[in-house]
Amino acid sequence: MGVVRDIFIGLSENKVLNDASKQMGLRFGAQKVVGGTGVEDTLKCINDINNQGMNVTFDNLGEFISDKSEATTEKNNIIKMIKAVQDKGASAYPSVKLSQIGLHIDEEFCYQNIREIIEAAKKTDMFVNLDMENYVSKEPSMRILDKLLKEFDNVGTVIQAYFYDAKKDVRKYKDQRIRLVKGAYKEPTTLAYQSKNDIDQSFFEIIKTHLVEGEGFTSIATHDHNIIEKSIRFIETQNIPKDKFEFQMLYGFRKEYQEELVKRGYNMCVYVPFGTDWYAYFMRRLAERPQNLNLVVKSVTKSKRFRAGAIGVAALIVVSGLVKLLKK
């Protein structure tokens, strides 16, 4: 499965395919995992989730941002959604990738953009989460977070368990609201654990650390029921109140389990991506769970309007090649 994962990670980094996908709308099963392409359809998705007793964090999808004008456009898209959520009184907050608003263009420019976003959210005490990306982005992202924490109390970030320094980072931000994840990018052995067992062990350790060592709110973001149930047992033995943590899952994944956890009295937050720039996100979801290839197969084979354009050809090649790989 490692080969399959690497293929999808590689596809997620293909700018040509990413650009072509923007002209097609949601395709190949992406509509199952992306909340919408615009404000109105995404708000409908958010309201549906809220009505099921769940909170939402929304992510404006955007990749390959290379100049300040593009970054400014993405910043404005995020603020537009923040204001729409505030106007509708929905229960939701933004998750922001700093690379999307200028991190690798100009760090100070990026800081001013995220500061503007946080100020817009602050008007209704809305939280803002800084998504964490690959290791190259980690240090500058932390610098920006540290600067923001001197002024704002409605901002937090993500810590990825596969990095060797994850526990150190958890302790540094033990009093902040933090999302804990396993990690979704391909990183070298010099920086990150590679085996599932090592990553799972690190993940559970940082969950325990953040729950008991500080005052911060803990978001446990995973679809792994073994980790979730293990965390619940730990939480119960430590008498940790339910208002100190939540579980997070991606939109379109394990919906029945999400509903079950809510019925059991646990807080659930659903990560809802939106926008026309869905391709790279979708490829990363397939990288994490190649079984989701079924979404692509069903969409391609059932769509009456399917045309063998740039994405169509790519999807068919990927599907045929991966079917062969998965049968080996």
Catalytic site positions: 131, 179
Task: Report d(CA 214, CA 57) in Å as an integer.
Answer: 23
Phi, psi of 93 (to 5 degrees): -145, 160
Buried b (16+ CB within 10 A) or exposed e, 265-296: ebbbbbbbbbbbbbbbbbbbbbbbebebbebb
Strands 128-131 and 178-181: unpaired
Cβ neighbourhood burial of 215 (10 Å; 0-12, 13-18, 19+): exposed
By three-state DSSP, how is residue 320 classified?
Answer: helix
By three-state DSSP, how is residue 171 classified?
Answer: helix
Task: Report d(CA 262, CA 266) in Å as an integer.
Answer: 5
